[in-house]
Amino acid sequence: MRKPEFQFLLACLFVFAAASTCDAQQTAPDGQQQFADLGICKLVNEQQIAGCRLGYRTWGKLNADRSNAVLFPTYFSGSTANLAGMVGADKLVDPSKYFMIAIDALGNGVSSSPSNSAVQPGPLFPAFTIHDMVNAEYRLATETLGLKHVHAVMGISMGGMQTFEWIVDYPEFIDVAIPIVGSPRLTGYDLLLWHEEEDALRSDPAWRNGHYAQRPPLGAVEALHDMNLTTPARYARTHPPEQFAAAYAAYYSNGILPFDANDWLAQLEAMIHHDVAHGGSMAEAETRVKARVLAVVAAQDHMVNPKPAEDFAKAIGAKVLVLESDCGHISNGCEADRLNPVVRAFLDGQ
256 and 284 assigned to the same domain: no
Residue-by-residue DSSP string for 312-340: HHHHHT-EEEEE-STTGGGHHHHTHHHHH
Helix H segments across the chain? 3-26, 130-139, 158-169, 188-203, 219-229, 232-238, 241-254, 261-272, 282-287, 307-316, 331-334, 336-347
Residue 292 domain flag? yes
Residue 13 domain flag? no
pTM listed for this prediction: 0.92
Say how many domains are in the chain: 2
Last residue of a domain, one of 269, 303, 328: 269
Structural domain that includes position 246: 189-269
Residue 28 domain flag? yes
157 and 61 assigned to the same domain: yes
Give 22's Cβ-side CA count (13 Å radius): 22
Residue 5 domain flag? no
Please name every residue paired with 174 in a beta bridge, in sequence order, or none if there are none.
150
219 and 339 assigned to the same domain: no
Decide the pairing of beta strands 292-298 and 69-73: unpaired
The helix/strand/coil state of 231 is coil
For residue 345, what are the contacts with CB-CB under 8 A and spacing of at least 6? none
Decide the pairing of beta strands 150-156 and 69-73: parallel
The pLDDT value recorded for residue 23 is 52
- Backbone torsion region of residue 57, taken as left when φ is above 0, otherwise alpha when ψ lies between -120 and 50, otherwise beta: beta
The secondary element (H helix, E strand) that includes residue 41 is strand 34-42
235 and 325 assigned to the same domain: no
Residue 18 domain flag? no
91 and 134 assigned to the same domain: yes
The pLDDT value recorded for residue 4 is 41
CATH of the domain at 233: 1.10.1740
Phi then psi for residue 327, to 5 deg, are -75, -15
The rounded distance, in Å, linking the Cα atoms of 194 and 175 is: 32
Which pLDDT tens digits describe the chain residue by residue (350 residues)? 444 443 433 443 344 444 444 454 557 899 999 999 999 999 999 999 999 999 999 999 999 999 999 999 999 999 999 999 999 999 999 999 999 999 999 999 999 999 999 999 999 999 999 999 999 999 999 999 999 999 999 999 999 999 999 999 999 999 999 999 999 999 999 999 999 999 999 999 999 999 999 999 999 999 999 999 999 999 999 999 999 999 999 999 999 999 999 999 999 999 999 999 999 999 999 999 999 999 999 999 999 999 999 999 999 999 999 999 999 999 999 999 999 999 999 999 98
Residue 60 domain flag? yes
The pLDDT value recorded for residue 26 is 56
For residue 23, what are the contacts with CB-CB under 8 A and spacing of at least 6? none
Name the nearest CA neighbour of 264 among 190, 197, 175: 197
195 and 265 assigned to the same domain: yes
288 and 253 assigned to the same domain: no
For residue 328, what are the contacts with CB-CB under 8 A and spacing of at least 6? 228, 229, 230, 231, 234, 298, 300, 301, 302, 303
219 and 80 assigned to the same domain: no
The pLDDT value recorded for residue 19 is 46
Residue 1 domain flag? no
The rounded distance, in Å, linking the Cα atoms of 47 and 127 is: 8
The pLDDT value recorded for residue 11 is 42
121 and 233 assigned to the same domain: no
63 and 144 assigned to the same domain: yes
CATH of the domain at 323: 3.40.50.1820
Amino acid in the structure at residue 11: A
The pLDDT value recorded for residue 350 is 87
264 and 246 assigned to the same domain: yes
Residue 3 domain flag? no
94 and 210 assigned to the same domain: no
Last residue of a domain, one of 222, 245, 269: 269
The rounded distance, in Å, linking the Cα atoms of 184 and 318 is: 14
Going from the C-alpha of 289 to that of each of 170, 171, 273, the distances in angstroms are: 9, 6, 21
Last residue of a domain, one of 250, 269, 288: 269
Is residue 285 within 8 Å of residue 184, measured between CB atoms?
Answer: yes
